[in-house]
């Protein structure tokens, strides 16, 4: 078995820089040997940064490049095609979330992966978010007793690298498949599933405070977990000032846990009524190195992934249930 993993980066947009930094920090056994983008200037720029060979066409990269794995960072509507082509070529695949925008597409991707027999990871980086892992450890240790309720909340401006400029694709429903729930929302749904278990039902409402986005830029949802606990999911994108608030709040019988910016877990209980910081200050960006380390270990060492690709269907199903509930105005089942 090889001791190093040669990887092609497919898509050289803003997220590719985050992935390059994460590989350098957390997965030094990965060598970026090819970069692919239909915008040759972007491919050339990333090639210069990484020392990889640049391609403007994926077929050319498959024919002429030297890599065993692909890191797919393309608009959502291209995920299925690129995953199927990669599996057909026998490549290991790291696919940016969401797995796909429809359940049928998810099924086709997973079937192709099983035929290929290679390693497949959906890049939901929050699976490796240090503060979420700390909170999960505390809950597993029964540090605050039985959970009563929880809330995941994000409020973000339209970041220029992703939502502003020359026709950003995330603003187009035909490409993105939805608004902030389908995209950013998955980063809050996965931690809630990790902390509280699977979600059975959802109900929600939507708004569009950020007018350039065709999909929702406001989501208010309630989630009923299989344990019977009901939690909340709140998401907002708008221009102008936003007040900082906890990204996650877990309320239990003997206290609370909060995950706050810039990356602190606070324990609130009878002994720590002002909140005790648990662990070091981390931050959302600290989730990416662990993601790549896990992928490299799965390919090179045969280590099981922290979460298989099927887990990513859960985020899509929760989003779809919330979309349906906005139309029906009632609770909708997540796992039909």
Residues 285-330 have pLDDT tens digits of 999 999 999 999 999 999 999 999 999 999 999 999 999 999 999 9
Residue 31's pLDDT band, with cuts at 50, 70 and 90, is: very high
199 touches 314 (CB < 8 A): yes
Angle subtended at Cα 206 by Cα 200 and Cα 212, rounded to the nearest 5 degrees: 135
216 touches 238 (CB < 8 A): no
Q: Kindly state the average pLDDT of the residues 116-136.
A: 98
Residue in the block written with tokens 């077929």? 59
Least confident of 22-31, 49-58, 161-170, 273-282: 161-170
150 touches 248 (CB < 8 A): yes
The predicted-structure confidence for 238-297, as pLDDT tens digits, reads as follows 999 999 999 999 999 999 999 999 999 999 999 999 999 999 999 999 999 999 999 999
Residue 235's pLDDT band, with cuts at 50, 70 and 90, is: very high
135 touches 248 (CB < 8 A): yes
Q: Kindly state the average pLDDT of the residues 86-101.
A: 98
191 touches 126 (CB < 8 A): yes
Q: What is the pLDDT of residue 1?
A: 58
Residue 165's pLDDT band, with cuts at 50, 70 and 90, is: confident
pTM, to two decimals: 0.96
The predicted-structure confidence for 191-208, as pLDDT tens digits, reads as follows 999 999 999 999 999 999
Q: Kindly state the average pLDDT of the residues 122-138.
A: 98
Q: What is the pLDDT of residue 167?
A: 79
pLDDT value at 2 more than 90? no
What's the distance, CA 34 to chain centroid? 23
Residue 185's pLDDT band, with cuts at 50, 70 and 90, is: very high
End-to-end CA distance of the chain: 41
Burial of 262 (0-12, 13-18, 19+ CB in 10 A): exposed
Q: What is the pLDDT of residue 26?
A: 96
Q: From residue 213, how far is each of 163, 180, 218, 225 by CA, in Å?
A: 8, 9, 11, 30
Q: Compute and round to an integer the Cα radius of gyration of the chain.
A: 20
In this prediction, what percent of the chain has a pLDDT beyond 70? 100
245 touches 188 (CB < 8 A): no
What is the average pLDDT value for the chain, to the nearest integer?
Answer: 97
Q: What is the pLDDT of residue 166?
A: 77
Q: Long-range contacts made by residues 299-306, C-beta under 8 angstroms, separation at least 24? A: 299/5, 299/68, 299/69, 299/92, 299/119, 300/1, 300/2, 300/3, 300/4, 300/5, 300/29, 301/1, 302/1, 305/119, 305/121, 306/127, 306/128
The conformation of residue 234, written as its DSSP 8-state character, comes to E
Taken in order of first residue, the domains within the chain and their CATH numbers are 5-124+288-306 (3.40.50.720), 127-284+316-333 (3.30.360.10)
Q: What is the pLDDT of residue 318?
A: 98
pLDDT value at 218 more than 90? yes
């Amino acid at each position: 078995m090889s001791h190093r993993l040669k990887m092609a980066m497919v898509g050289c947009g803003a997220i590719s820089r985050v992935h390059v930094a994460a590989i350098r920090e957390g997965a030094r056994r990965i060598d970026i040997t090819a970069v692919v983008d239909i915008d040759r200037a972007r491919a050339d720029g990333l090639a210069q940064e990484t020392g990889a060979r640049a391609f403007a066409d994926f077929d050319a990269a498959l024919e002429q490049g030297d890599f065993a794995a692909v890191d797919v960072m393309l608009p959502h509507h291209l995920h299925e095609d690129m995953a199927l082509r990669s599996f057909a070529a026998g490549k290991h695949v790291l696919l940016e979330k969401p797995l796909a925008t429809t359940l049928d597409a998810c099924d086709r991707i997973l079937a192709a992966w099983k035929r290929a027999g290679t390693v497949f990871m959906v890049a939901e980086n929050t699976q490796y978010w240090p503060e979420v892992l700390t909170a999960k450890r505390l809950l597993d240790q029964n540090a605050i007793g039985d959970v009563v309720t929880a809330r995941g909340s994000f409020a973000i401006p339209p970041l220029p690298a992703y939502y502003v400029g020359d026709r950003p694709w995330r603003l187009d429903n035909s490409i993105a498949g939805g608004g902030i729930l389908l995209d950013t929302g998955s980063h809050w749904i996965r931690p809630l599933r990790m902390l509280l278990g699977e979600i059975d039902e959802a109900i929600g409402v939507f708004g569009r405070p950020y007018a350039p986005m065709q999909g929702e830029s406001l989501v208010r949802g309630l989630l009923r977990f299989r344990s019977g606990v009901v939690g909340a999911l709140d998401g907002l994108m708008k221009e102008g000032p936003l007040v900082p608030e906890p990204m996650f709040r877990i309320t239990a019988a003997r206290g609370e846990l909060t995950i706050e910016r810039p990356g602190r877990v606070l324990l609130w209980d009878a002994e720590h009524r002002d909140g005790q910081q648990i662990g070091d200050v981390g931050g959302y960006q600290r989730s990416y190195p662990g993601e790549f380390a896990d992928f490299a270990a799965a390919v090179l060492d045969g280590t099981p992934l922290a979460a298989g690709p099927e887990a990513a269907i859960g985020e899509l199903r929760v989003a779809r249930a919330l979309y349906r509930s906005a139309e029906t105005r009632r609770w909708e089942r997540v796992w039909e």
